[in-house]
Amino acid sequence: MGYLEVRNATKQFGASFLALNGVSVAVERGEFFTLLGPSGCGKTTLLRSIAGFNDLTSGEITLDGSNLRIVPPHQRDIGMVFQDYAVFPHLSVFDNVAFGLKPRKVPAAEIKTRVTQALDAVRLGAMADRLPAAMSGGQQQRIGLARAMVINPRLLLMDEPLSNLDAKLRIELREEIRDIQKQVNIATIYVTHDQEEALAISDRICVMNAGRIEQVGTPQEIYGNPQTRFVAEFVGTLNVFQPGAARDGMLNQLGLAAPDDASWAVRPERLDLVAQGSAPAGAAVLEGRVSKFTYLGREAHVQVETPAGLIVVQLANPGMAATRAVGEVVCVLVPRDAPMAFGADGARIGG
Ligand SMILES: Nc1ncnc2c1ncn2[C@@H]1O[C@H](COP(=O)(O)OP(=O)(O)OP(=O)(O)O)[C@@H](O)[C@H]1O
Ligand SMILES: [Mg+2]
């Protein structure tokens, strides 16, 4: 049994719309668990149900074995960090963090100790007396994090806490959040629609789509072994081969088979460009013409028009020599273990 368990959760809005449609997840003690999915898939709805800001239409939520749905939100001992910083502009950093302890009737001396500890944890110890207006977005979000942690919550919930920050700060702060979470060891549910952020920060990722769970797994499992076409396309990129003789010939050559209505796809980084006639045994080659070349520094993307469709090949560490001209004839190498097969319903069925 998980530390936090959500079983068969549904949330209906209006007459028939299901924002959550039979969601079950289990989060372990100390785990960094991320809900990842496109806008509108139900991430915030699930988080708010756990926090108690909305009630499920049906389903169960237990924390450490006891029913959470009957506990009022302010008694759930759950810390929450929001997308907008939600800091009080007229209160000092210290008072912003202490605010969470006020209704809990904590003695003044203990407030001082706990707030100082929380501020030190988010590296704001030296700024306790400042007003939030004089602080950067990243610093304001760290106030939010300290305020969530100061109550010693049983669970930490974060809803896209980094989405208002610029790209560089987002990467810095996500590393920091991960480090802090590992230090305090509080089970955390983190919401994002940024796949790279999810891969970087999580112990496990739960990919959601349209109110349902597509897959739960470690970052490596989600990226390297997607169980549905949705997951494969949402986390990373996917080349889907066009059905037809060219594709089937290639699959045949690789000794791969699946039902007729299956779709076959490969990740761009699993492909390579090779000289004509130099395919190693067990691999297949698709000849085509370059229709686009994009150099990105540590990688390059070569888009090739092949008889099996438009295929993007990702080359790592491309030097000058990797440059391809539009119109150039190239050979795309497809290793035997690269193609993935998905059934008509989107479920992974092979490869
Ligand atoms: N109070 C509400 N009344 C009606 N519909 C709602 C309500 N709250 C959410 N919804 C709908 O439920 C669906 C899920 O919303 P939710 O906010 O959980 O999505 P999300 O995954 O957090 O998306 P985002 O990445 O944009 O934040 C959406 O279609 C949304 O419009
Ligand atoms: Mg949301």
Terminal Cα distance for the chain, rounded: 32
CATH architecture of 4-234: 3-Layer(aba) Sandwich (3.40)
> What is the whole-number distance in angstroms between the Cα of residue 42 and the centre of ligand 1?
6
> What is the whole-number distance in angstroms between the Cα of residue 190 and the centre of ligand 2?
11
Check if 192 has its Cβ closer than 6 Å to any atom of ligand 1. Answer: no
**Closest ligand 1 atom to 208 CA:** 21
For position 278, what pLDDT does the model report? Answer: 80
Domain spans in the chain, listed from the N-terminal domain onward: 4-234, 239-350
Q: Which of 45, 49, 50, 234 to mutate to test the pocket of ligand 1 (most atoms within 8 A of CB)?
A: 45
> What is the whole-number distance in angstroms between the Cα of residue 48 and the centre of ligand 2?
10
Nearest CA to ligand 1 atom 28: 40
CATH architecture of 239-350: Beta Barrel (2.40)
The whole-model pTM stands at 0.94
Q: Output the six-digit token pair for 350.
A: 């092979």
Q: Output the six-digit token pair for 96.
A: 């912003």
Question: Quick one: DSSP state of residue 243?
Answer: S
CB-proximal residues (5 Å) to ion ligand 2:
44
Nearest CA to ligand 1 atom 1: 13
Give the helix/strand (H/E) hosting 201: helix 195-201
Check if 11 has its Cβ closer than 6 Å to any atom of ligand 1. Answer: no
Check if 44 has its Cβ closer than 6 Å to any atom of ligand 1. Answer: yes
For the chain, give percent helix, strand, coil, nearest 5. Answer: 30, 30, 35
| Spatial CA neighbour of 188 closest among 147, 157, 149 | 157
Nearest CA to ligand 1 atom 27: 39
Sheet holding 239-240, edge to edge: 239-240, 263-266, 340-342, 348-350
| Spatial CA neighbour of 239 closest among 270, 215, 217, 284 | 270
Q: Which residues of the chain have pLDDT under 70?
A: none
Report how far residue 198's alpha carbon sits from residue 205's, in angstroms, rounded to the nearest whole number: 7
Ligand nearest to the CA of 194: 1
Nearest CA to ligand 1 atom 7: 13
Which residues lie across from 302 on neighbouring strands?
Answer: 293, 313
> What is the whole-number distance in angstroms between the Cα of residue 13 and the centre of ligand 1?
9
Ligand nearest to the CA of 46: 1
For position 306, what pLDDT does the model report? Answer: 98
Nearest CA to ligand 1 atom 9: 45
> What is the whole-number distance in angstroms between the Cα of residue 80 and the centre of ligand 2?
13
